[in-house]
Amino acid sequence: MVMKEFVKTLKRSKWGYIFVAPWIVGFLVFSAYPLWLGIKMTFMNYNLVAPQSMKFIGFQNWINGFTDPLFWRSLLNILYNQAIFITLTFFIALLVAYLLFKISNGNKIWGAFFRSAYFVPTITSVVVVMLVLGNITAPYGPIQTLLVKWHILSQPIVWNLVPILIMPVIAVITSWMSFGIQAIILLGGMGTIPTEFTEAARIDGARESTIFWRIIFPLLRPQIVFIMVMNAIGGLQMFTQVYVNFGVTGGPDQAGMTPVLYIYSEGLSKFQMGYSSTLGFILSILIIIATVITLKVLQERS
């Protein structure tokens, strides 16, 4: 009897399974299998270019990973970077989304133009962005030249050489690249807010900032949660910006070293695949923790 019910359920769900099957197959072949190899490697001492010397070493890689000062340094670096990046990008995106929202009732063409214009930084490839913005922020570049002219700086700074400046500058550059997509997400959210709410407040004589912070902002909760979770997942994995700028050494005092850059360098420069995989999994665990914390904090006050 139970069996018959079970079979009936399966039969009814058949299309569900068929539709997700391609994705599952793709996942098994291209993700699960490499992952499984990766997990096995964490228990091995595996020299990438001398695979015959592979040797089982138990938990040694894991112990080394948890006690590796450079790995934790890289985590500190990325947290420093993300603290600045997340705050800066979010508030800029919020402002831009609100402004775009305000003009969305107006001329359609201008609306489309501004929305596209603010999205341009996101479409540009990271390599191009680092190239162009690297030029702009360079000591001889336009920004510093102007700052010197206006006497804000006494002389140009080679920010690439100053450990404490590296992460903030990269955060600002990444911010330029990412605020567009966050703004679009927030804009979408603003579009779903019933106009009655804002109309009512306006009739009551509320000021613009009150309307924004008391009505609009709280209703953006789903979008904010999404953005913050994607920040937690993606931001902690930052790699291309620092790789293009410093190569695998991580810059002066390793101030530009991020966890993924370190994983990359251990595996591909020093050929220590076992250790590199271990660090990768440790990082994944940390990302999961960060995501869970973010979700808990943001969904607390419902």
Partner 1 sequence: MLKQERNERTRAYIFLSIGLIITLYPFVLMVMSSFMTPSQLLNNPSMIIPMPGTLSGYTGLFKDLNVLLLFKNTIIIAGSVTLLNLFFDSLAAFALAKLKFPGKNALFGFMLFTLMIPGVLFFIPTYTMLYHWGWVNHYRALIIPSFVQFYSIFLMKQFMEQIPDEVIEAARIDGASDPVIYSRIIVPMSIPVMATIAILTFMGAWNDFFGPLLYLRSPKMWTVQLGLQMFSSSIPGQNVQVLWAGEVVITLPILIVFLFLQKYFIRAFTNVSFK
Partner 2 sequence: MKKNLLIFSVVLFFIAGSMMAVTITVAPPDAQSFNYLQSVIPTFEQQNPEITVQVVAQPNGSQIAALVAAGNAPNIFIGPVPMNYVQNGLLLDFTKMSGYDQIASELITGIFPYNNGVYNIPWMVTTQVMFYNKTIFKLAGLNPDDPPQTFAQYLYDAKKISELPPGPYGKYYGQFFWNEELQFSWYWGMLEQIYYNFNDAKYPHLIGQYGLSLDFTNPDAHFVDFLQFCKEAQQYSSSGMQQASIFGRNVGMWLQFAYGWTFNLQNSTGGPMIYGKDYGLAPIPTNSTSATAVHWSTLAQRPLIVFKATPEKDAAAWKFIQFLMEPQNELQACESIGWLPSVKSNANNAFFTNPDVKAYVDQLSHVIVTNPFEENSAVTQAVLNGWGQYVVSNSMATAEQAFQVITKNAQAALVSGQ
Q: Which of residues 23-52 bind partner 2 (CB under 8 A)?
A: 47-51
SS3 content of the chain, % helix, strand, coil (to 5): 80, 0, 20
Quick check: 167 and 235 in contact, CB under 8 A?
A: no
Nearer to partner 2, 50 or 285 (CB): 50
> Which of partner 1, partner 2, none does residue 252 bind to, with CB < 5 to 8 Å depending on kind?
partner 2
Indicate whether 16 belongs to the interface with partner 1 (CB under 8 A).
yes
Quick check: 59 and 43 in contact, CB under 8 A?
A: yes
Indicate whether 265 belongs to the interface with partner 2 (CB under 8 A).
yes
CB of 120 to partner 1, least distance (A): 6
CB of 287 to partner 1, least distance (A): 4
User: Which residues 6+ apart lie within 8 Å of 14 measured at CB?
Assistant: none
> Which of partner 1, partner 2, none does residue 73 bind to, with CB < 5 to 8 Å depending on kind?
none
For 75, 123, 216, 220, 233, the CA distances from 184, given in Å and listed in that order, are 29, 13, 15, 12, 19
CB of 53 to partner 2, least distance (A): 10
CB of 166 to partner 2, least distance (A): 9
* CA pair distance 82, 222, nearest whole angstrom: 21
Q: Which of residues 53-112 bind partner 1 (CB under 8 A)?
A: 96, 98-100, 102-103, 105-106, 110, 112
* CA pair distance 43, 278, nearest whole angstrom: 8
Q: Which of residues 174-193 bind partner 1 (CB under 8 A)?
A: 176, 180, 184-185, 187-189, 191-192
Q: In angstroms, what is the C-alpha Rg of the chain?
A: 24
Report which of 213, 210, 211, 179 is spatially closest to residue 195, judged by C-alpha positions. Answer: 211
Q: Which of residues 144-183 bind partner 2 (CB under 8 A)?
A: 155-158, 160-162
Question: What is the enclosing helix (H) or strand (E) of 267?
Answer: none
Stretch that binds partner 1, among 56-64, 78-86, 163-171, 285-293 (CB under 8 A): 285-293
Residues in the site for partner 2, rule: CB under 8 A?
47-51, 138-141, 155-158, 160-162, 245-249, 251-253, 264-265, 267-271
